[in-house]
Amino acid sequence: MMMRVPEAFAAIMATVRDFGTETVPFEKATGRVLRETIYADRPFPPFDRVMMDGISIYYDSYIRGQRVFGLEDVQAAGMPQMQLRNLADCMEVMTGAVLPDLTDTVIPYEHLDISEHEGFRRFTIVKEVKKGQFIHRAGSDAPEGKPLLEPGIRLGAAEAGVLATVGKTQVLVSKLPRVVLIATGNELVPVENKPEAHQLRISNIYNLAAALQGLGIQAEMVHLPDDIQHLTTHLNKLIPAADLLICTGAVSAGKYDHLPEVLKKAGMQEIFHTVQQRPGKPLLFGAFQNGPVVFALPGNPVSGFMCYYRYVQPWLKACLQDAANKPEFAVLEEDVTFDKPLEYYLPVKLKCSPEGAWLATPAVYHGSGDLASLLLADAFMALPADQDVFRKGSSFPVWKFR
C-alpha cells in the first residue's frame, strides 16, 4: 500500500516499543540514554570555595581602614576548614580551599604587595576590595537534592563529569536493541575483495552500521544473495535473534527483488510498501508478531541512507526514550523546483548565518545512486509533496546526518 510521508511516519511510530533498561558503569554510559533522575548528592559547591590564590580576611578590618595584614596560617585545598584566631590577621588561601572560618573576603596575590617584617610575611592591600569577593558560595550552583539530569538525556561528556562528581558509579540506561543489517544483491562482494567489472563492494550496510554506532548500537551484518531459498533459510535464523531488522535492496519491482515476498512468507505483517517520496519510494515496513520490526530500505545508497535518518533513527530514538527526537529547520538558500507529487528529500549543505539560523544550499547530487554526493551534504531537507516551487528564504525541516 502506497502511503504519504506523514502517514508512513505515523504507522512506523505506532510500533515503538520499550527494550527495557539496564544498569551500566558510568564510564561505559557515554552515548546511552539515561532512564533515571540524577540528583545533587551535596550542595554544588559543597562548601564556601576559595576562587583565587591569595589571602582571606575579615572584611570589617578592611572597612575600618586596615590595609596591612600579618599572616596566621595557610589553608590549602584538601585541608579541613581552619579558623582565623586574630581578626586583624589574614589566612593565606589557595583556589579550591574551604574558606577559613571568620574570614569572609578573598584577595588575590595580584592585588597585594607582599613583604617580610622580622621574618614574618605581610600582605598590603593595593586594590579596592568588595565584601565577599572571590568566594564561590556553598550551594550557589545547585542545592543538595536538586535534579541535575532528567531521564531521556543522551549522556555525553558534560554528563560524565556530573555523574562522577555525585558519585553515581552505576547508572540506569535504555537497553539497546539487537539489530541485524542485511545487504542483499548478487552484484555485491565483501569490501576486502577486488570487484570484477560487473560487481561492486557492499557499502550500504556500512554507512548504516556507522550511523547506528552513533546511538551506541553495534549491529550484526549479513550479506545474502538474491535467491528465495537462501533468503528464506537465513532470515528464518535471523528473525528470532533480532529486535530490529534493517535490510537494504531487493524491495522494488525487479525480477530478483524477492525480499517483500520472502519476508511475508516468513510471517512478517506488511504495514506499508512504498511511500510518496523521492528518494526512497520503494520503502517497505513491517513487523513480526512477538518479533522484530523490519525496515526494508531501497537499495540505492542515498535512498537507504535518507530512509534511515527520516524513519529508522526517529523510531529507534523513540524506543530508547531519547528526549531529543525532532527534526530541526533550515532556510533554503536557492529556489528549488520539484513538480512531482512526492515529498522531496534534497541533500543540502548547512552553514550557520551570522544571525544564528541554519542556511541550506542544495548539494551537487546526481540522484539516489550517487553515494559520493553524501560527502558534500550534511542533511536532507524535506520539501512537501503538495508544492512545486520552493523559494529561497523559506524554511523547511532538515534531517541532519552530521
Ligand X SMILES: Nc1nc2c(c(=O)[nH]1)N[C@H]1C(S)=C(S)[C@@H](COP(=O)(O)OP(=O)(O)OC[C@H]3O[C@@H](n4cnc5c(N)ncnc54)[C@H](O)[C@@H]3O)O[C@H]1N2
Q: What are the cell numbers at 92?
A: 593565606
**Residue 315: CB atoms within 10 Å:** 20
Q: What are the cell numbers at 101?
A: 572560618
34 vs 182: CA distance, rounded Å: 29
- Residue 205 or residue 212: which is nearer to ligand X going by CB? 205
What does 61 bind: ligand MOO, ligand X, Mg ion, none (CB cut-off 5 to 8 Å by kind)?
none
Q: What are the cell numbers at 276?
A: 510518496
CA proximity to 79, closest of 58, 93, 67, 62? 93
279 makes contact with ligand MOO (CB under 6 A): yes
187 makes contact with Mg ion (CB under 5 A): no
Give the dihedral of Cα atoms 326, 327, 330, 335; nearest 10 deg: -150
Number of amino acids touching ligand MOO (CB under 6 A):
9
Q: What is the DSSP string of 101-124?
A: BT--EEEEGGGEEEEEETTEEEEE
Of residues 257, 322, 343, 378, which one binds Mg ion by CB under 5 A? 257
281 makes contact with ligand MOO (CB under 6 A): yes
Q: What are the cell numbers at 180?
A: 541485524
369 makes contact with Mg ion (CB under 5 A): no
Phi, psi of 217 (to 5 degrees): -95, 130
Q: What is the DSSP string of 272-303?
A: EE-BSEES-TT-EEEE-TTS-EEEEE-SSHHH
The end-to-end CA distance of the chain, in Å, is: 32
- Residue 84 or residue 251: which is nearer to ligand MOO going by CB? 251
298 makes contact with ligand X (CB under 6 A): yes
Least spacing, CB of residue 163 vs ligand MOO, in Å: 42
Least spacing, CB of residue 303 vs ligand MOO, in Å: 3
Of residues 30, 203, 252, 387, which one binds Mg ion by CB under 5 A? 252
368 makes contact with ligand MOO (CB under 6 A): yes
Least spacing, CB of residue 255 vs Mg ion, in Å: 9
Least spacing, CB of residue 247 vs ligand X, in Å: 9
190 vs 78: CA distance, rounded Å: 58
347 makes contact with ligand MOO (CB under 6 A): no
Phi, psi of 228 (to 5 degrees): -55, -45
250 vs 303: CA distance, rounded Å: 13
278 makes contact with ligand MOO (CB under 6 A): yes
Q: What are the cell numbers at 254?
A: 525487479
What does 273 bind: ligand X, ligand MOO, Mg ion, none (CB cut-off 5 to 8 Å by kind)?
none
203 makes contact with ligand X (CB under 6 A): yes
Of residues 185, 249, 260, 280, which one binds ligand MOO by CB under 6 A? 280
Least spacing, CB of residue 279 vs ligand MOO, in Å: 3
Q: Name the site residues for ligand X (rule: CB under 6 A).
A: 183-185, 187-188, 200, 202-205, 248-254, 257, 279, 281-282, 298-301, 303, 368
Q: Name the site residues for Mg ion (rule: CB under 5 A).
A: 252, 254, 257
Q: Name the site residues for ligand MOO (rule: CB under 6 A).
A: 278-282, 298, 300, 303, 368
